A and B are shown apart, each in its own frame.
Chain A
């Protein structure tokens, strides 16, 4: 697999898996308006995933569905943050805040990529992800500075997802082999921290302490145990009818 294909798959899998998690909120959101809002975000991410997976598949004759439904657990290269179970609404918002802030910073730089397809996906994605981040920021403020219970839950949600954010910024040889095309994830960290800190302060929340536990491995196909269950549900019908059209 070329570095470009690997890199594109990482971007695409992040979108695909997070979209799936957000779609799980359908009929379960805390208010109907939020059902609509989360579905919007899930649809945006799914759209980005489809473009990225189609592009990644074009390198070796695989379709978006081949990649989404026929790869095994160890072949997915999304960050672990994306695959975490949704938890309560505060957990979901905490994860969305962390991920969207990262993704917006990433896409903004990716619009300058020497690869035309990645640049185009990023250009379209920037507008969508700005809205996702805004939505997450909005709710972070309301939950952080709402009631004692919402504050407690939001703090807990942040603590739960925080260890998984470190993986987002680890550079490795895939990006290094794509100068001018890929974005160095390490370069995104200062901006990410600064934005998140601003939101948390405004929301009367504390940044979780870095206790040294920094899970990683998603970029190399080493996932949490949640991933297997996610893929079982995601893939089973397609796999049950090999070669069928839907």
Chain B
């Protein structure tokens, strides 16, 4: 939904495991994101831990990317972001 920020969802399915990325969703705020994540990605199983993180807050890198092909927003999660605020002077995006 336009205007609603994108959140990435990480779930730890069982005690002893670590959180893994399961997908994303849109929500107006962190509380709604958490509740939506619970309904969508866990159907409220017991003992599950959920993290929701605004996609825009994630800094990413890929080891086999070559320097000439980096673009200025290259540290974001998605290559083609329409939901980040890109500075106006950046043309290629």
Structural contact, B31 and A33, CB atoms closer than 8 A: no
B49 contacts the other chain (CB 8 A): no
B1 contacts the other chain (CB 8 A): yes
Partner pick for B36 among A33, A131, A134, A142, CB 8 A cutoff:
A33
The SS class assigned to the A binding surface is helix
Interface residues on B, range: 10 to 19
What per-residue 1/0 map shows which CB atoms of A123-151 lie under 8 Å from chain B? Answer: 00000000100110010001000000000
Chain A contacts for B44, CB-based, 8 A: 40, 131
Structural contact, B1 and A36, CB atoms closer than 8 A: no
Using a CB–CB cutoff of 8 Å, the interface residues on chain B facing chain A are 1, 25-28, 31-32, 35-36, 39-40, 43-44
Chain A contacts for B28, CB-based, 8 A: 142
- The 8 tightest CB contacts between A and B, nearest first, are A33-B36, A36-B39, A37-B39, A40-B39, A36-B40, A33-B25, A33-B40, A31-B1
Structural contact, A40 and B36, CB atoms closer than 8 A: no
Structural contact, B27 and A33, CB atoms closer than 8 A: yes
Instruction: Provide the bound-state CA to CA distance between A103 and B44, in Å.
Output: 20
Would you list 24 pairs from A and B whose C-beta atoms are within 8 A, ordered by A residue?
A31-B1, A33-B25, A33-B26, A33-B27, A33-B36, A33-B39, A33-B40, A36-B36, A36-B39, A36-B40, A37-B35, A37-B36, A37-B39, A40-B39, A40-B43, A40-B44, A131-B44, A134-B35, A135-B35, A138-B31, A138-B32, A138-B35, A142-B28, A142-B32
